[in-house]
């Protein structure tokens, strides 16, 4: 009912809105159903008549050349700005806790973990897929319902000013910054600029509600709540252990201790979990509820996802990649499957700018320390890594399809690790 009241207040002259149940707010004309709201962005303006015929209750467009005589169709000067302001006003009309999550690595996993934990007590929403930019975030906010108590918003960016704009729209109550890494160097050039860009979210959040990975040197002097392994953090992670069942660790804070057991692999996920736990404790989720939720956390696909296929175990971590994420996930894979035959399939890490070749070559130091049986590389940037490695067990391929054919020959029972930026499409190997 709240959404209907909201739009009736915004458009009091639209009498046809009085007694309907407003559906979704969409920018994809193909998905529009009766009583949905459609916002025509860019080429979406071409489908205004189509969505009206489908029964949309309100349609917004910014092409001044469109001539439509229908009370449901409303012209706006800029559809994207209209969407953003609409979402901002809608968020402000609701009693909901908004958590903004950003960082160079781990923000999607942390968002999923936080959603899993908070859902143990409250009804809420989270960012779906890659809806984490200046268009996706407003659409996510507009999915909120009156009885939702929280929303976990992933905030992505590629340049300065973008996180600030997302903060203006979302007005977050809490902020989580997972780390400052080498992602986005194509546009930001160095980590100092990455730090400036990511911490734009702090402009909207009180210091006591800014939760960060405290072991990252960039947060040494920041006014934040610090979470990490170092003893000077506010929340301290200790005694991490993992096997094929998952991981466990202890979290110490304010004289208290929590013994956490989780289905997720990787010491890096213990950090993501601890960041999420810190917010959950602050918004009233009990320790018992948190610990129970941690036993069965649900992540978005292709994040260290276990898939058994063709007599082999695949660890599909091929949604995204950066130098830090590549290193820690390879180490995790090597540790979990230490007694198995191991094949690592690695593709290019994208958007690393002028440092790309150096950062790809730098992976050789990590790989040489691991007990991998075979390494398959694909992508023009990975060719530089191939040159540095032992060619007795390292192989370079021109296409993902060639790797897929080669993996069929790997013996049954082997563990196969997939890691690359999403644009490399390593996921095709599992098709």
Burial 83-92 (b: 16+ CB within 10 A, else e): bbebbbebbe
* 192: Cα within 13 Å, side-chain hemisphere: 0
Distance separating alpha carbons of residues 197 and 160, to the nearest angstrom: 5
Residue 262: strand, helix, or coil: strand
Cα distance between the two ends of the chain:
43
Mean pLDDT of 192-220: 97
Mean pLDDT of 281-296: 98
Determine contact, residues 202/196, Cβ cutoff 8 Å.
Answer: no
Residue 17 has pLDDT above 90, yes or no: no
Torsion angles phi and psi, residue 291, rounded to 5: -65, -40
Mean pLDDT of the chain: 95
Residue 1 has pLDDT above 70, yes or no: no
Find, among 411, 413, 417, the residue nearest to 429 by Cα.
417
Residue 209 has pLDDT above 90, yes or no: yes
pLDDT at 275: 98
Find, among 4, 27, 3, 30, the residue nearest to 17 by Cα.
4
Mean pLDDT of 324-341: 96
Residue 402 has pLDDT above 70, yes or no: yes
Tens of pLDDT, residue by residue over 145-200, are 999 999 999 999 989 999 999 999 999 999 999 999 887 777 888 999 999 999 99
Mean pLDDT of 72-99: 97
pLDDT at 188: 87
Q: Band of the pLDDT at 372, cuts 50, 70, 90?
A: very high
Burial class (CB in 10 A: 0-12, 13-18, 19+), 127: buried
Q: Band of the pLDDT at 4, cuts 50, 70, 90?
A: confident
Burial class (CB in 10 A: 0-12, 13-18, 19+), 368: exposed
Q: Pick 153 or 15 by higher pLDDT.
A: 153
pLDDT at 28: 97
**15-24, 214-223, 319-328: the lowest-pLDDT one:** 15-24
Torsion angles phi and psi, residue 345, rounded to 5: -110, 115
Does the pTM surpass 0.95? The reply is no
Mean pLDDT of 327-347: 97
Tens of pLDDT, residue by residue over 239-248, are 999 999 999 9
Residue 26 has pLDDT above 70, yes or no: yes
Q: Which domains are present in the chain?
A: 2-77 (3.40.1390.10), 85-294 (3.40.1190.10), 305-430 (3.90.190.20)
Find, among 325, 380, 372, 312, the residue nearest to 347 by Cα.
380
Find, among 330, 321, 312, 307, the residue nearest to 406 by Cα.
312
Determine contact, residues 294/280, Cβ cutoff 8 Å.
Answer: no
Tens of pLDDT, residue by residue over 353-365, are 899 999 999 999 9
Q: Are strands 394-397 and 174-177 parallel, antiparallel or unpaired?
A: unpaired
Longest CA–CA separation in the chain, Å:
74
């Amino acid at each position: 009912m709240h959404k209907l009241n909201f739009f009736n207040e915004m458009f009091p002259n639209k009498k046809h809105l009085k007694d309907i149940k407003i559906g979704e707010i969409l920018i994809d004309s193909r998905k529009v159903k009766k009583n949905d709201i459609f916002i025509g962005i860019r080429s979406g303006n071409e489908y205004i008549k189509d969505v009206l015929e489908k029964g949309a209750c309100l349609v917004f467009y910014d092409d001044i050349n469109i001539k439509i005589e229908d009370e449901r169709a409303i012209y706006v000067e800029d559809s994207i700005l209209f969407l953003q302001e609409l979402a901002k006003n809608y968020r402000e009309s609701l009693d909901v806790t908004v958590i903004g999550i950003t960082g160079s690595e781990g923000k999607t996993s942390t968002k999923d973990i936080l959603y899993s934990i908070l859902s143990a007590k409250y009804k809420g929403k989270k960012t779906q897929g890659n809806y984490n930019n200046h268009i996706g975030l407003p659409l996510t906010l507009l999915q909120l319902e009156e009885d939702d108590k929280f929303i976990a918003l992933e905030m992505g960016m590629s340049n300065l000013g973008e996180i600030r704009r997302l903060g203006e729209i979302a007005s977050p109550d809490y902020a989580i910054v997972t780390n400052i890494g080498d992602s986005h160097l194509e546009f930001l050039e160095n980590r100092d600029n990455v730090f400036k860009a990511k911490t734009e979210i702090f402009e909207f959040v009180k210091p006591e509600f800014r939760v960060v990975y405290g072991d990252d040197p960039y947060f040494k002097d920041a006014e934040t709540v610090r979470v990490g392994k170092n003893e000077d953090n506010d929340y301290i992670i200790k005694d991490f252990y993992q096997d094929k069942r998952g991981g466990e660790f202890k979290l110490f804070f304010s004289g208290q201790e929590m013994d956490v057991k989780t289905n997720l692999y990787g010491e890096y996920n213990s950090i993501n979990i601890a960041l999420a736990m810190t917010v959950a404790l602050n918004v009233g989720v009990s320790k018992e509820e948190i610990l129970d939720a941690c036993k069965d956390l649900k992540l978005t696909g292709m994040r260290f996802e276990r898939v058994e296929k063709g007599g082999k175990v695949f660890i599909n971590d091929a949604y995204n990649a950066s130098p830090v994420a590549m290193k820690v996930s390879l180490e995790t894979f090597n540790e979990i499957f230490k007694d198995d035959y191991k094949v690592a399939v690695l593709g290019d890490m994208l958007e690393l700018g002028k440092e790309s070749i150096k950062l790809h070559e730098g992976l050789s130091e990590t790989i040489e320390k691991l007990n991998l049986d075979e390494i398959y590389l694909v992508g023009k940037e990975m060719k530089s890594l191939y040159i540095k490695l032992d060619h007795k067990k390292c192989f370079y391929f021109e296409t993902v399809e060639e790797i897929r054919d080669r993996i069929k020959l790997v013996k049954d029972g082997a563990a196969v690790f997939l890691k690359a930026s999403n644009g490399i499409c390593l996921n095709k190997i599992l098709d």
